[in-house]
Structure 1
Amino acid sequence: MNLPDFLCIGAQKAGTSWLYKVLQEHPQIFMPPIKELHFFDRIGTDDLKLRHRHHQLARKAATREERKGDAADRNLIRYLERVVAHDKVSLDWYREAFSWPVAEGVRKGDITPGYLEISEAEVAYARDLLGAAKLVLIVRRPLDRELSQIRMLAQRDYGTKVPTNDGEWMRLYKRMRKHEDRGAYSQGIPRWQSHFGKENLLILPYGEMRADPRGFLAKIEDFLGIERLETYEYLTAEVHATQKLEIPEKVVARAIRKTAEEDAYLKSALGEAFFERTR
């Protein structure tokens, strides 16, 4: 049906880029050449910035293939051209992204961390469209995730420089906090579970990915019903690492207060032991 069998729904700054890279290596998994398709949160929109990024990634994949010369897979290049031929984030476009023929038993996946924060109606639509698809969620300690996100903003805004005072850091933090639902596990987890069922949502702690990446992947492989791959090239790679910029204590204290409720929810819903493994 040219639709994904599983979604990784989040969270931002919780290792989803790494997961995308390693899952691309598994012969029983197909990942489109575009990470973060943003279908369920942007359907029907003319998001030019998003479409530009989709085009860039597809073109890069096509260029890599064309460099192979006579050995290039022309069918793959034509597939990539079809993916970027659509003007909008539409259902036809989403199906096109998964139109690459896959063998029996191969699972198709969409990793878009922004899905954690989508609305009740959007989750309901995902359930109607995909049926009882499998869901994966990586939980990172809310404070760590939030501080990583503000560091990412600082990198984007300041490049190789660093914000020079508390005021600049606080402006970055306030801008980030405009998106209150990002990393809101207390909203996203119950919402997705209510439509897909607890048995179809695999929740994994971020710290386990860092401490035992092979064991972490084994849980995903078992959950998806595929064979365990013995080796992964990117198993220990660090993808899209954020600079370890020092954030002023005033901003950190503000973040601690803002994430306290999320901490309490995770401890209550998933247990203290699980929470400790999210660091």
Structure 2
Amino acid sequence: MPALWPILRRQARRGNLNASQVFSLQRAFQQKPNWKRLDRWLKPLLTEAVRADDRQTAILQTGIWLRQMREFERAHHCLDLLNWRKARGQAFLQRGLVLQQLNQIDAAQKALRRSCRDGSSFAVASYHLGLLHRSTGEFDQAARWLLRSLKRDANPAHVHTVLQYCRCSDDMLRPIVRFYEQLHRRHPERALPLQQLSLYQQRQGDLIQAGKTAQKSVRLELGQRTSLLADEDLAPTPPDFLVLGVPKGGTTSLFAWLREHPQIWGHPRKELHFFDGDYHLGEAWYCAQFPRFQDGSGILRGEATPNVFSHPEAPARVTQLIPDVKTMVLLRDPLERAVSWVQHLQRLEGLEGSVESWLSQELESLQSLDADTLARSGRIGTGALQDSLYDIHLQRWRSSLPSSQQLLVISSERLFSQPSPQLSEVLGFLGLDSDPEPWMQAWVARNVNPGRRSTLPKSLESELRAFLQSHCQQSATETKESPVGWFE
């Protein structure tokens, strides 16, 4: 880069920089960032130093870079430099994404709708419109945009995932079911259309057909494992392992990585919410969600529903149905997890009110309860603090599982800071070769809140940490996280 500086300087003075050279400047800036200097030279650089025929590209590229750097105000000011009369769909898409981060919802909708006029950006812009409506609690409207995105491009699995978490009305279920029926007819070899169709048949109340559809879907796209399937006439069986939780603790990342292992079949929908919500659907429905392999195949099957860990009735339900099941729980700094959960609800479900107000209200309610009442209490507020009372939930699972060797407690912090030894421990716990290296390239942090962590008043934060510390002593020990690490 030092050798390029004289060249770039001469090009800039002549107004002859191109977009590729601006990208080189961005990479150099990241090595030694100075935002005050950037604020001074960014506008003249983009409007005077870049040649006219490359200016739109350079401005848009810089706006995208700033958005990725989470500098949303700066990205907004940068995109304002575009000639919007000549702007195309990608520019309006980026504008909408930035405006959404700045909480300018109406303006973001307008920009994303404008982006949809460009066929090349329609699928992505429709997806983000779906996310935007979901974030304001408009689930039917969100589902309509997500369906439009999928009708243009049905391949991205994350769009199907977002759609399944929209709490749609009964009327909205009908077009979704039609869409997945049509998608299955076009791609009968694919598992995903049938997996999703089964979900929506269940939501319509057609449990028998939902079970049949699910049982058919889990026998698709198994690759070489197809030859290890048991006879189709044999009754399905429950899974071999469960990832119990906690919400915003890293279960999505861990489960996605486990699914890459050739000796593991992980449910494509990840969260079935059987033991914590849909237990009434019955054992047959639940078992139908998993393929049955031949005895001795060595294939382990599992699912991950983060809310199961804190559900009062889940341990007894799990041990009754799967007495020899292996279970794992990821535990994260309890306050950081609680804050992240409220922010998650704000971002994805339109939860109103500040993080501070929710946590202070929940703290006030919980502090008045004794230990026995806390263990039996129903959901209070968002449940953010209750899900972080780890010792209560951990004791319930320890008491219910037949053997202490059936539960592995993992530190979320160490999983993400030192993934290899933690993943090795997970594989060993499951009885597999404990060397994770062949699959380490598949390890990615997923489902991370994109916004900054909300700042709490120091007095409230201290009070919250003291309360949570009194309910997380055993958990800190089991995760090998000293109380100082979580509660300093």
Indicate whether the TM-score tops 0.5: yes
Distance in 1 of aligned mates of 2:485 and 2:455: 26
Structure 1 SS opposite 2:297: coil
Contiguous gaps of at least 5 residues in structure 2: 1-235, 363-379
| Matching of residue 115 in structure 1 with residue 308 in structure 2 | yes
Amino acid in the other structure paired with 2:399: S
Deviations 1:99-157 (A, max 9, x none): 354661111112111011112x4321211210121111111010110111122123225
2:103 alignment counterpart: none
Closer/same/farther in 2, CA of residues 128 and 23 from structure 1, 3 Å limit? same
1:1-279 counterparts in 2 under 5 A?
2-44=237-279, 89-101=281-293, 104-119=297-312, 121-156=313-348, 168-171=354-357, 173=359, 174=361, 177-179=381-383, 180-196=385-401, 197-227=403-433, 228-232=435-439, 235-250=442-457, 253-254=459-460, 256-268=462-474, 270-271=476-477, 273-275=480-482
Contiguous gaps of at least 5 residues in structure 1: 46-88
The higher relative CO (CA closer than 8 Å, separation ≥ 6) is in 1
Using the TM superposition, give the Cα deviation of residue 11 of structure 1 relative to its aligned residue in structure 2, in angstroms. 0.7
Distance in 2 of aligned mates of 1:278 and 1:107: 33
Distance in 1 of aligned mates of 2:430 and 2:345: 34
Amino acid in the other structure paired with 1:90: G
Closer/same/farther in 2, CA of residues 268 and 91 from structure 1, 3 Å limit? closer
Name the larger-Rg structure: 2
Closer/same/farther in 2, CA of residues 255 and 130 from structure 1, 3 Å limit? farther
Distance in 2 of aligned mates of 1:147 and 1:30: 32
Distance in 1 of aligned mates of 2:323 and 2:349: 41
Distance in 1 of aligned mates of 2:339 and 2:321: 35
Amino acid in the other structure paired with 1:108: R
Contact map agreement 1:186 1:262 (CA 8 A) in 2: no
1:65 alignment counterpart: none
Structure 1 SS opposite 2:244: strand
Contact map agreement 1:116 1:184 (CA 8 A) in 2: no
Distance in 1 of aligned mates of 2:485 and 2:399: 25
Amino acid in the other structure paired with 1:205: S
Using the TM superposition, give the Cα deviation of residue 267 of structure 1 relative to its aligned residue in structure 2, in angstroms. 3.0
Closer/same/farther in 2, CA of residues 259 and 130 from structure 1, 3 Å limit? farther
Deviates more, 1:135-144 or 1:194-203: 194-203
Deviates more, 1:7-16 or 1:262-271: 262-271
TM-score under structure 2 length normalisation: 0.42
Distance in 2 of aligned mates of 1:198 and 1:260: 29
Amino acid in the other structure paired with 2:397: W
Using the TM superposition, give the Cα deviation of residue 255 of structure 1 relative to its aligned residue in structure 2, in angstroms. 5.0
Closer/same/farther in 2, CA of residues 213 and 278 from structure 1, 3 Å limit? farther
Identity of counterpart residues, as a percentage?
23
Deviations 1:42-62 (A, max 9, x none): 1345xxxxxxxxxxxxxxxxx
Structure 1 SS opposite 2:387: coil
Distance in 2 of aligned mates of 1:158 and 1:123: 31
Contact map agreement 2:293 2:299 (CA 8 A) in 1: no
Amino acid in the other structure paired with 1:114: N
Deviations 1:25-53 (A, max 9, x none): 001111111111111111345xxxxxxxx
Structure 2 SS opposite 1:249: coil
Amino acid in the other structure paired with 1:36: E
Contact map agreement 2:270 2:304 (CA 8 A) in 1: yes
Closer/same/farther in 2, CA of residues 109 and 259 from structure 1, 3 Å limit? farther
Using the TM superposition, give the Cα deviation of residue 211 of structure 1 relative to its aligned residue in structure 2, in angstroms. 1.4
Structure with the larger helix share: 2
Closer/same/farther in 2, CA of residues 105 and 246 from structure 1, 3 Å limit? closer
Distance in 2 of aligned mates of 1:253 and 1:223: 41
Contact map agreement 2:272 2:303 (CA 8 A) in 1: yes
Distance in 2 of aligned mates of 1:278 and 1:27: 35
